[in-house]
Chain A
Amino acid sequence: RKEVEQDPGPFNVPEGATVAFNCTYSNSASQSFFWYRQDCRKEPKLLMSVYSSGNEDGRFTAQLNRASQYISLLIRDSKLSDSATYLCVVTHNNNDMRFGAGTRLTVKP
């Protein structure tokens, strides 16, 4: 079983739609959680950290469920520019980062 698993996607949604991605992790000792965004042929970049109480950044909401070992990312009012691959990242106590395979999102006009 992979350490970090994500919805395989791809997700194809119209502009303005709400879309949600889930990610599960296997190591219960995982400490920090992030969502990274990767555009085609570009390097990953931090989208947002995920806090225990859940957090929101504009149209993006991230949630963490430690008991069930999953995190989620909700994107409201999708824009064309949201088209990208979204990577779930989990770190352990020594901060080594493990990435999921990514979920590809395409937002269409």
Chain B
Amino acid sequence: DTGVSQNPRHKITKRGQNVTFRCDPISEHNRLYWYRQTLGQGPEFLTYFQNEAQLEKSRLLSDRFSAERPKGSFSTLEIQRTEQGDSAMYLCASILYGTVNTEAFFGQGTRLTVV
């Protein structure tokens, strides 16, 4: 257990439904990242936060995707009007930015299946 918690672990949803995932990072970590990973591929960057500020969004993040980190602690990733192509593992990672040790700790991910 890395200390990064993601919920739910699995989500099956019908196409067109909205889904929301939650990530609880390591408490003292100020940076939080969201990635998407499909089978046989590495994690693809979606977005990241420095405290509560969203600093960058990938062009992979269409208008249907939104992420928040309202109090600089946990974060949520919402996908609206899900499509089958959204099926993937959604990974969250956190780091303590600004220190020498910038090891990223990942949660176990949320596996989304859109049927």
Contact = CB atoms under 8 A, between A and B. Distances in A.
Interface residues of B, number: 24
B39 to A, nearest CB: 10
A36 B106 CA distance: 11
B73 to A, nearest CB: 19
Interface string A64-105: 000000000000000000000001010100111111111000
Interface string B65-83: 0000000000000000000
B2 interface: yes
A96 B41 CA distance: 18
Nearest to A32: B102
B42 A46 contact: no
B21 interface: no
Interface of A: 4, 6, 32, 36, 42-46, 87, 89, 91, 94-102
